[in-house]
Structure 1
C-alpha cells in the first residue's frame, strides 16, 4: 500500500468527494445504506488493512469508560493508570490517545490489544452501519484517512 500516493489522491479528490457525500443526504437512506454496505463488502475483499494501518498511524479513536476498562484489564493495569499513560482529553472532552501512531500498533501493523480494542476501532471505518446518511461528514473525513473509504466513495460515485 502506497500511503503517500493514497494521501495525494484523497486530497486531490476531496472537494468532489465532499460534495458527492453531502448530496447523498437527499437520497433514500435505505438505498444509500444498501449501496454503501455492498461497496464495503466488495472493497474489503480486495483491501487488506494490515498493509496500510493509516488509521492507527494518524488518528485516535474515542475511548469510552468501557473501552478504558477493557484495554486496561488486557494490559493488567488500573484504568486510572491506563488513562494517565496513554490518553488525554481532547477539545470535545473525549478521551483520545496522547500520541500517534497508536502505541498498541506493532511493526507488522497488528494491534497488541486487538481483542480488547475500543469500540471505535472495532467499527472503523463505519461504512457498514445503518443510517449512513447521518454520518456522511465522518465518512468524508475518513476518505482522507482510509484507502478503503476512498475506494468505496469512488465506486459509489459511479452508481449514483
Structure 2
C-alpha cells in the first residue's frame, strides 16, 4: 500500500479519494428540521458552554442549570419532551455560537460514509444540494470539527 503523510496526524492512501472528492453543495435553510422532532443529544464542551452563556448574557451556572443535562458523563443541551432542542424557538436562538455538532452538520462522518447516506439526509434536510459548493478540504475540516466536539 502506498501511503503519504500529509501532516503530523494524517496518513492518506495514495490514489484513493472519497466519493465527495468534487465537493458537496450545502447551505443551511434555517428550517430547524435538524433541531426538532427526534430525540437525541447535542453535545457541548466547556468552551462552548462559556461562549453560549456569554452570548445569552447569563452566568455559566445559570446556563447549566437551565439548559444542560448530563448524559453518560458528557454534557448535552436539554431537549423538550417532543425532541425539540431547548435552543430552538422558531429558529436557533444561539445560531452564531451554536455547538460544533450543529455547526458541522451535515458533514458528519456517518452522513459521508457513501452517497446513499448523504441521500438519506437529503430527504429531511432541504439545504443539501443547495448553495455554495464545499470543497473536499472544507468538508474534511468540518469532519474534524465534528469529531473533535468532545474536547
For normalisation by structure 2, the TM-score amounts to 0.55
* Aligned partner of 1:95 among 45, 68, 75: 75
Aligned residue pairs total: 108
Q: Secondary structure at the match of 1:49?
A: coil
Once residues 29 and 86 of structure 2 are traced to their aligned partners in structure 1, the CA distance between those partners, rounded to angstroms, is 17
- CA deviation map 1:37-86 (0-9, x unaligned): 64522xx26xx5323x2221134321000110101001111112111111
* Aligned partner of 1:62 among 43, 54, 60: 43
Relative distance call for 1:126 and 1:137 in structure 2 (3 A) is closer
1:123 and 2:109 are equivalent in the alignment: no
* Aligned positions of 1:34-113 closer than 5 A: 35-36=19-20, 38=22, 40-41=24-25, 44=26, 49-51=29-31, 53-57=32-36, 58=38, 59-91=40-72, 93-99=73-79, 100-107=83-90, 110-113=91-94
1:31 corresponding residue in structure 2: 17
Once residues 77 and 112 of structure 2 are traced to their aligned partners in structure 1, the CA distance between those partners, rounded to angstroms, is 19
Q: Secondary structure at the match of 1:63?
A: coil
Contact 2:111-2:118 at 8 Å conserved across structures: no
User: Which structure dedicates a bigger proportion of its chain to helix?
Assistant: 1
Q: Secondary structure at the match of 2:49?
A: helix
Once residues 31 and 80 of structure 1 are traced to their aligned partners in structure 2, the CA distance between those partners, rounded to angstroms, is 45
User: Which structure dedicates a bigger proportion of its chain to strand?
Assistant: 2
* Aligned positions of 1:132-147 closer than 5 A: 135-136=109-110, 146-147=121-122
Unaligned segments of structure 1, at least 5 residues: 1-26, 128-134, 153-160
Over aligned residues, Cα RMSD in angstroms? 3.5
2:145 corresponding residue in structure 1: none
Contact 1:125-1:149 at 8 Å conserved across structures: no
